[in-house]
Amino acid sequence: MISAFRSGEDLVLENLALHQQLRALHAQRPRHRLSALHKLFWVALRTFWSEWRKPLVLVTPRTVVNWHRADWTWVSRVSQVGERKPVSKEVRTLIFRMVVENPTWGAPRIHGELLKLGFDVSERSVSRWIRRAPRDPHPVKRWLTFLRNHREAIAAMDFFTVPTLTFGVLYCFFVIGHDRRKILHFNVTRNPHALWVGQQLREVWGYKEPHRFLLFDRDAKFGADVVSAVRDMGSQPTRTAFRSPWQNGVAERWVGSCRRDLLDHVIILNKRHLKRLMSSYLLYYHEDRTHLGLAKDTPAGRPTEIRSKAEHTIQSFPRLGGLHHRYAVAA
């Protein structure tokens, strides 16, 4: 009888509310929290129907009011984000670049750099884009940065063999500095042993400060006596792992350059012949030969010649008997 005097709209909304609660009750077996869709239904029903409390069974009216307040809070936050000044692609790219090039920098430091560059951006926006910045997946770059910061304190030594015309074998010993790839010492012997290596090290650092670290492999010639001699000079001996020549890459690359530039093109007669050729090669290597690892400079530092536009005469000077040449502007 009461339903006969009620409007059809109220009856439809009440049936809809009861039906929605019945579906939610069946969905909670086993018991779970109400889904976001159910919450959204009651928030919308409270907005459009004044008698929404009558059919409410599963939760209290206060709970629906709290849902409504939470939704409006979320909407206001979204609107605030939408009103923010968008960060341009140029600034985002610069932020990503700073993150990669300076892995220890945080948002305040990067924000300060951006302000000094004239970019109007908030620190909160910088922090948000830092979290999205792609990280460098290769640890090799970090290892190269470490080596660049310590290469002035690192030297390496090694042996390489050279066959002679009479089928003998000569052992070439050298010490190379990591900072300028400069050969600090070179000598040749037929019978290498620990005492001879110790004498060569004393000739290298007899009257000057040794490098902090001396890198060498696990060759039997670098035995306990050599390690003790290195420590007595004030340097720290550092051995590479077994069968890991790449860990002494600076020395190995120099051996490859020496073979490609000189030894693969000549036949060594004896020890004196090899020492003479190697002395000429070291002079060419230090003074004339440009190096990729030194930004196309030489280990000793080759000055760039100043040439006028009217001057086009270039002279060539043979090195190593004509195997290589050095070029200079004619005086």
For the chain, domain boundaries: 3-83, 89-137, 153-294
Question: Is the CATH number of domain 153-294 3.30.420.10?
Answer: yes
Per the listing, tokens 């000044």 go with 85
Amino acid at 185: H
Q: Are 225 and 198 in contact (CB under 8 A)?
A: yes
> What's the DSSP call for residue 302?
P
Residue ranges in the chain whose pLDDT is less than 70: 1-8, 18-39, 42, 45-61, 64-65, 67-85, 135-144, 309-312, 331
Q: Is the pTM of this model over 0.85?
A: no
Question: What does the CA dihedral 248, 326, 260, 211 come to, rounded to 10 degrees?
Answer: -20
Structure token digits, residue 208: 């000057």
> For position 76, what pLDDT does the model report?
47
Q: Are 156 and 251 in contact (CB under 8 A)?
A: yes
> For position 1, what pLDDT does the model report?
47
**Measured between alpha carbons, how far is 92 from 103 in angstroms, rounded to an integer?**
16
> For position 118, what pLDDT does the model report?
87
> For position 286, what pLDDT does the model report?
95
The C-alpha angle 108, 110, 112, rounded to 5 degrees, equals: 70
- The half-sphere exposure of 228 on its side-chain side, counting CA atoms within 13 A, is 5
Q: Are 34 and 24 in contact (CB under 8 A)?
A: yes
